[in-house]
Homo-oligomer: A and B are copies of this chain.
């Protein structure tokens, strides 16, 4: 129904009249499906984030050692944001706006990812791969420590101004993950 929407849309620049024309409707009719323009934006964003979140959850709840899964999750999250920035700038801008303006979708997305990371940490602790830290707290710290690599605004900042290479950034993230995972390990 609203499938056609998610194709040729750019955030904040296209009017609902454009969307309606794209769908072969009148502008008024769009409001039978969405309560407001910002609801449309949120729906598009939610659609995008849903894909990311389910990918990360697949990693979190999949096989492998807990540290490896954490590493894979954060690498994947970083890679997704980087890809967005380079190949779908409009979407990147929309997600950036969603974060700085604290849209509704974002908090759910973050909670979902933190929960997934929390599960991995709890699992790792159960298996003796991690120290018995509070999973929720650990997950939040991981998120905050890697903010540079997963926050759209900070990524854009790094790429725009400092001219950081893509590979170098990924390398630094790996170093950070080494440090954090060392910190999570139990005393031996």
Contacts and interface: CB of A to CB of B under 8 A. Distances in A.
Contacts of A187: 188
Copies of this protein, total: 2
A146 B157 CA distance: 17
Contacts of A178: 183
A176 B145 contact: yes
B183 A141 contact: no
Contacts of A157: 100
A41 to B, nearest CB: 18
Interface in A162-188: 172, 175-176, 178-184, 187-188
Interface in A126-159: 137-138, 140-141, 144-148, 154, 157
Interface of A: 100, 102, 137-138, 140-141, 144-148, 154, 157, 161, 172, 175-176, 178-184, 187-188
22 contacts: A100-B157, A102-B161, A138-B179, A140-B172, A141-B172, A144-B148, A144-B176, A145-B145, A145-B146, A145-B176, A145-B180, A147-B147, A147-B148, A178-B183, A179-B180, A179-B184, A180-B180, A180-B183, A181-B183, A182-B183, A183-B183, A188-B188
